[in-house]
Structure 1
């Protein structure tokens, strides 16, 4: 039954082709056996039969195959038997094979005794990406190597290459009653108006390294060595890869690519309005804008993420979405639109085998295209395409800046403009603009930088004026301007993206740590260009996989800097997510913690591998990094340091097996020291983390790395109560599953050891009093160290954990749940913990050293903590602190009661 249904679909497709497409009707008459094979066996069989056609000269044979293939592919497409990707790949594969045969023929005709080599055919455009359409030109660049190109004795290499190229084009383009093989377009080669059709490879490399235009970068995203001397072509593409894929964002090049599309919109204005006559390729929301939209995302991120360099549009969209660089919904919308628009374009081209991209203006002709595609009429086709065109147009519009505003150079007019923007201290704002325009800052000395800055300035000034403390924000922006060596890309970026300027103003006004990061490294803004920057933060495992790939693929010193940059970018992005209210502060704290954990995992492996080169490995030995404090409890803030203990497990008396062998104790201590240095020592890529290892046995006087046996012995016989309290938040971060389980079980066993509850209570109360004397709160709003703050709640929780051996989990919220279930603490403790934790995370980013935010930032802090205004937040915090103080008093007073 199913076979009959499929056969009926094929017959219906053939019938539609013959009824509505004159070209397909004539092709079916010329190749009835192809049509018959399709109906009976399907598209694959019909394509194979078309490609097997023989007879006549090379040109005749290729033309017949292309003519028959056009019929077979069209029928498989019209029947729905094969998707767009199959159609374009099949057409592209044929073009590759045909070009290869044509260039071999051209060379062998002149030098029959030589093996063709030394001439490469690069495919660009849709052929380069394997997406050739039904009736398309092939965009080619031909290159030759004068050292290996075969030629007659009196021929110069350049002359011989051009002869081969001309004959190749003739074989491809010549038309007979069988049609043609492919139309060849050579205009994408460097300076096509003055250069020969075949270029020396070395000269082409020099051009692309020194003189190429930005749009040529986008063109080469889809470049591929398709025929001829493929190895030569691949070598050339590898050589110019840095020109195409730059690690630093070149926003000027991206803007120029967008401008090209806008000029195309203007040039083809008559095909912009959607409806009959609409240009599917060049119109607003058309195929080219879908491609350019995708390519811009690739140019932004592909320099640092090679996985995003997929040449085919649909593949690139999938990769961008998978990497979190494009919202999945946006990627799907562009991909669906691309399929729909390309399919409609194919239907138009099937009518007469013409390179046409417009929907017919004539109603009857439009109906013919629609019916070929299975619609009842043209109106149905228009209705089906409309949402796809709008989806692409909207996304592409979002990339384009059409702002031409400038601030005046006349001081009086400038004052009026700044006042109209909302600046209160107009004189100071005016003075700041004048200072920038003086060219004193290095980043504003070149004409392109000044032009980009002037284009950006109105956007930034308007955003700053709308925020709190605009003059303070301008001063911080001045720090960035002064520290930049070249600001042209940043200024272009802010001009093109007004929402990003708003975000920068928010950072400058409210978040000194982020503003300082930005001042040290303005390229951090590169990561905020698209909405993927605000995607949920990856967990520790996913981040560690990314970092480990860097460690395993790059030399260690480069990997170390690379990971530092990646961590810096992620920390900055998490801070921006917090500031822009995209995530709950508690989720951000977990993100900070997962980021630190991933960095520790990756750097530990990298250091261990490097260390093993000299000292080998310890058989049966393993180092485990134990996280404590906020890291152990997955509650880091932007400013948190890392509390770490290094533990090792090794058989007694064992030594490492390297060239410079070490006893296990020395081995793991030196290894731990190097891991510590990798985490804590500043490099050119910036600081990573402050590391505190004083919680290890014997503190700063003890060995950095301690054996599990020594650690257990110390914890059971010598450790103070405060050390066991610290151990309540211990979590193994590195090592094999078995090693981490062993450490986890050991920590739990130590904490469950029977101990005198009265001593624990007395010690805890004494320690808290001692801490209050020697480490007083930084101010009234210190919700960590102040009375009823987070430290009091932590003391209460850890004391209950140790005295009752319940809720022994490093995460306070998990521990609280168990303590509540056991009736040891009230169920309001968790909401109080969350409120104060949110406030701590926010104030570490927004507050001053005294944890007191500026008056203009108070509303923002309140909002981020889930309250309508500052007064309601303070009231909630005061109430929570009173309850926490009461809980701690109750816990520490249990000893007196007992």
Structure 2
């Protein structure tokens, strides 16, 4: 009881409001220890009063006393204080709604009217003496109303009565202050809105700050089902996968406006505004909300309303530093607790430390401190830490670039632009709105906000001029640049990565010019990490698939594949991953896409044509896809096969024979994989390796495939078969194909002069498909094609060393002394070079001077001269090996 006696003593001495309640509620004080166990129950009068309004006022008064004493005594941690206050507010609001409806229509079921709690009630963090900020909504079809009365009039009167019940004062006090100004267009709308009108508003007209407000939205009272349906309907407005980063700038500007408007409360000391001041409560809340808005569209675990929960979730997801999260959480509890102390004194809705020393001493002593100085000493370092953390999120030092050409030239010279005059001309062209994407006021505003960060990032890059020129090309292609610039403003680190892409990777720059939203994907925590496994990728591509139509599935897969491929390319440019690991990641993404698209296409096709009994489609990958190692530009070499009887017929409304069925199905899958749409293309699909090539049917039966490979296929087709790998089909079907492939490779094929056939084919390839440039790691003599030919000839000649992955196959052959061990290193070097140059120098010409260091690092070479020397030595080694293989006699 000692802690309660101390709390009662402090309350009597330092809080006139509480002192009055202690006297007035003497019977409650007598059973205080028990009452604090369940304050929401203990605050209720022993017998229900006739007037629910009167009862609520008494309950609120008693709860105010119990919560204050539970807080002051230390029995209630901060979280219990705010949740108890919030739970009472929910109950009071619910009773007020029911009362208002039943007063108008006594026999009606009180439904069709709901309250959406926003702000601290929405997050269950309500202040000790706070108002509530609900949005009141109704359903015209279910809201009770008097006969002959328009339903909108009934809703308006119910809303007005709810406010009156809660905030009118009498001798018993009041229940809650109510602020309805967070509803849509409060200056022009009634206090309660139809649900459909509210949904329409948030889908089409809402302001950016309203999105942040709905992070903490909750159906709190009245018809909860109606409220939940409303929140579900507007969820896409709040949580966007591709975020409009103008929102972030708008939210940050709120803090700046608050700092300006409450300038006197910004300076720490007496009169400091605990809520709005620099380093105060709101900055902690906004710090969490900004990160939630940026990342919550992609990570549902971050969509938590309470500030403390949000900080913990963001730290767990590694979006914010764990130590910062803990500090902010501890400081938030302390600042909110001191805020409560200022409110307990006179039950005033204040957030400001008293300016007069006596009043400040009084608040400090209510908290259990010696005086106001001790309180300020307690708060000062914590407020400073919050301000520092928030300032890092929202740096205000990035002044706009000068408009004057001379001053702009100086600025660009200082930023390390070698040819500042050219850069000035480009920036002036953007400011002159030469491109459609830059012609609106919003676009110009976004441009000016992002330019300082871009210039700084480009200036630190290897080739600022090249980056700026490619940015100009990108802007010329964009239909809109607002979101692009807002993203860069909101995520300054992305400007560095963008500058690297624009400096070094024309392939990615071109893709970005067509789909600027791909940059969004790089804010994801996993964007620069190795690509997950195929099951995880399939699950992500199928997320939310239930109920989607076929086109929606295809569009989602195309969108995600575009994001993943762009991120994989960025990993190389950012030196975040080995090109060999990236190449395997490209292949996993492609395999997942094949799985999801094939499943969806089969289901769609079956709606009209049914399925062929005891039969299924199987997809066999060859080439780089079969080997599980792709580049950014790789096509997919696929063969479509089917199991079962080729004479069978499908069982649908429009039956087809098996051969026609699977050929049409294969055609649709191939088209779904390769046809470009608004969501972007996927992959070029090459089916020329199928039996009889371009002259043969697109899909053949397993038996037809077996017979062709064992009786008719040419040597080059058997060489391709060494990298065959089933990528779609049941386990049984995949095993059946592997058995056919294994048998063919083991010798069930025509007896031919493999080396001679390979030499002829290589000579024809050299004549018809020469190297495109001096760095063509694939087609130059001694490149990957020669290496592949050497491997495949030895595999077929000695019927060993088979593995679809070329690197593993080489290891098997070197272990069998059929190839020199140097070929393992040659394969790794040439593959890294091919994968990297597909991004940096797709024309196989020497890249710009500034990009050569990046290529060298990707190839594990000290510098560009070492790259050229290693390339030359590797080609010589591959050529020696290929020549030795082609000249050897078969055993």
TM range (shorter): 0.7 to 0.9
2:737 equivalent in structure 1? 743
Is the contact between residue 334 and residue 392 of structure 1 (CA under 8 Å) also seen in structure 2?
A: no
TM superposition shift of 1:582: 1.8
Distance 1:210 1:875, change over 3 A: closer
Match of 1:881 among 875, 882, 890: 875
Match of 1:838 among 799, 817, 832: 832
Q: Supply the distance in 2 between the matched residues of 1:875 and 1:77 (Cα, whole angstroms).
A: 74
Distance 1:796 1:286, change over 3 A: farther
Distance 1:738 1:273, change over 3 A: farther
Is the contact between residue 135 and residue 182 of structure 2 (CA under 8 Å) also seen in structure 1?
A: yes
Match of 1:254 among 248, 270, 273: 248
1:543 equivalent in structure 2? 537
TM superposition shift of 1:892: 4.0
TM superposition shift of 1:757: 10
1:646 aligns with 2:669: no
The superposition leaves residues 440-492 of structure 1 with CA deviations (integer Å, 9 ceiling, x where unpaired) of 32122223323332443444345445545555444432332222223223233
1:779 aligns with 2:773: yes
TM superposition shift of 1:345: 4.6
TM superposition shift of 1:851: 4.4
Match of 2:330 among 327, 337, 340: 340
Match of 1:513 among 507, 517, 523: 507
Match of 2:688 among 671, 686, 694: 694
Is the contact between residue 650 and residue 658 of structure 2 (CA under 8 Å) also seen in structure 1?
A: yes
TM superposition shift of 1:599: 1.2
Which stretch shifts more, 755-764 or 500-509? 755-764
1:183 aligns with 2:182: no
Is the contact between residue 290 and residue 396 of structure 1 (CA under 8 Å) also seen in structure 2?
A: no
Is the contact between residue 145 and residue 151 of structure 2 (CA under 8 Å) also seen in structure 1?
A: yes
TM superposition shift of 1:169: 3.0
2:521 equivalent in structure 1? 527
Q: Supply the distance in 2 between the matched residues of 1:742 and 1:401 (Cα, whole angstroms).
A: 65
Q: Supply the distance in 2 between the matched residues of 1:610 and 1:321 (Cα, whole angstroms).
A: 43
TM superposition shift of 1:841: 1.0
Is the contact between residue 754 and residue 793 of structure 2 (CA under 8 Å) also seen in structure 1?
A: yes
Aligned ranges 1:138-157 → 2 under 5 Å? 138-144=132-138, 149-151=143-145
1:614 equivalent in structure 2? 608
1:407 aligns with 2:402: yes
Distance 1:585 1:66, change over 3 A: farther
Q: Supply the distance in 2 between the matched residues of 1:29 and 1:421 (Cα, whole angstroms).
A: 74
TM superposition shift of 1:708: 1.8
Distance 1:340 1:738, change over 3 A: farther
1:55 aligns with 2:48: yes
- Per the normalisation by structure 2, the TM-score is 0.85
TM superposition shift of 1:145: 5.4
SS at match of 1:250: coil
The superposition leaves residues 642-686 of structure 1 with CA deviations (integer Å, 9 ceiling, x where unpaired) of 111112112464321110112222212211110000011122333
- Structure 2 runs not aligned, ≥5 long: 13-17
SS at match of 1:645: strand
Distance 1:432 1:348, change over 3 A: closer
TM superposition shift of 1:47: 6.0
Match of 2:712 among 712, 715, 718: 718
Give RMSD over aligned pairs: 4.2
Distance 1:757 1:713, change over 3 A: closer
1:6 equivalent in structure 2? none
TM superposition shift of 1:149: 4.8
TM superposition shift of 1:79: 11
1:660 aligns with 2:658: no
Is the contact between residue 552 and residue 606 of structure 1 (CA under 8 Å) also seen in structure 2?
A: no
Q: Supply the distance in 2 between the matched residues of 1:28 and 1:642 (Cα, whole angstroms).
A: 82
Is the contact between residue 400 and residue 449 of structure 2 (CA under 8 Å) also seen in structure 1?
A: yes
Which stretch shifts more, 682-691 or 355-364? 355-364
1:397 equivalent in structure 2? 392
TM superposition shift of 1:219: 1.3
Q: Supply the distance in 1 between the matched residues of 2:641 and 2:249 (Cα, whole angstroms).
A: 53
SS at match of 1:122: strand
2:599 equivalent in structure 1? 605
Distance 1:276 1:785, change over 3 A: farther
1:447 aligns with 2:447: no
1:705 aligns with 2:699: yes
Q: Supply the distance in 1 between the matched residues of 2:94 and 2:480 (Cα, whole angstroms).
A: 46
Distance 1:738 1:854, change over 3 A: same
1:566 aligns with 2:566: no
Distance 1:331 1:414, change over 3 A: closer
Match of 1:108 among 102, 107, 112: 102
1:328 equivalent in structure 2? 318
The superposition leaves residues 724-775 of structure 1 with CA deviations (integer Å, 9 ceiling, x where unpaired) of 3222222222223333344344433433347799944454455444434443
SS at match of 1:646: strand
SS at match of 1:625: strand
1:222 aligns with 2:212: no
Q: Supply the distance in 1 between the matched residues of 2:229 and 2:336 (Cα, whole angstroms).
A: 34
Match of 1:586 among 551, 561, 580: 580
2:91 equivalent in structure 1? 97
Distance 1:206 1:769, change over 3 A: closer
The superposition leaves residues 31-54 of structure 1 with CA deviations (integer Å, 9 ceiling, x where unpaired) of 66573387xxxx6x7766667965
2:34 equivalent in structure 1? 36
Distance 1:145 1:664, change over 3 A: closer
Q: Supply the distance in 2 between the matched residues of 1:826 and 1:363 (Cα, whole angstroms).
A: 85
Is the contact between residue 837 and residue 844 of structure 2 (CA under 8 Å) also seen in structure 1?
A: no
Is the contact between residue 507 and residue 579 of structure 1 (CA under 8 Å) also seen in structure 2?
A: yes
- Per the normalisation by structure 1, the TM-score is 0.84
SS at match of 2:216: coil
The superposition leaves residues 376-418 of structure 1 with CA deviations (integer Å, 9 ceiling, x where unpaired) of x9799769x95x98478536633555523233244x5544544
Q: Supply the distance in 2 between the matched residues of 1:301 and 1:772 (Cα, whole angstroms).
A: 50
Is the contact between residue 328 and residue 386 of structure 2 (CA under 8 Å) also seen in structure 1?
A: no
Q: Supply the distance in 2 between the matched residues of 1:426 and 1:479 (Cα, whole angstroms).
A: 18
TM superposition shift of 1:88: 5.4
- Structure 1 runs not aligned, ≥5 long: 1-10
Q: Supply the distance in 2 between the matched residues of 1:417 and 1:129 (Cα, whole angstroms).
A: 46
Distance 1:161 1:548, change over 3 A: closer
Aligned ranges 1:294-305 → 2 under 5 Å? 294-300=288-294
Which stretch shifts more, 814-823 or 836-845? 814-823
Distance 1:18 1:756, change over 3 A: farther
1:486 equivalent in structure 2? 480
Distance 1:865 1:721, change over 3 A: same
Distance 1:146 1:612, change over 3 A: closer
Is the contact between residue 617 and residue 657 of structure 1 (CA under 8 Å) also seen in structure 2?
A: yes
TM superposition shift of 1:847: 0.5
SS at match of 2:488: helix
Distance 1:627 1:150, change over 3 A: same
Is the contact between residue 53 and residue 65 of structure 1 (CA under 8 Å) also seen in structure 2?
A: no
TM superposition shift of 1:706: 2.0
Q: Supply the distance in 2 between the matched residues of 1:744 and 1:12 (Cα, whole angstroms).
A: 80
1:796 aligns with 2:790: yes
Distance 1:404 1:339, change over 3 A: closer
SS at match of 1:856: helix
TM superposition shift of 1:272: 5.8
Is the contact between residue 292 and residue 303 of structure 2 (CA under 8 Å) also seen in structure 1?
A: yes
1:7 equivalent in structure 2? none
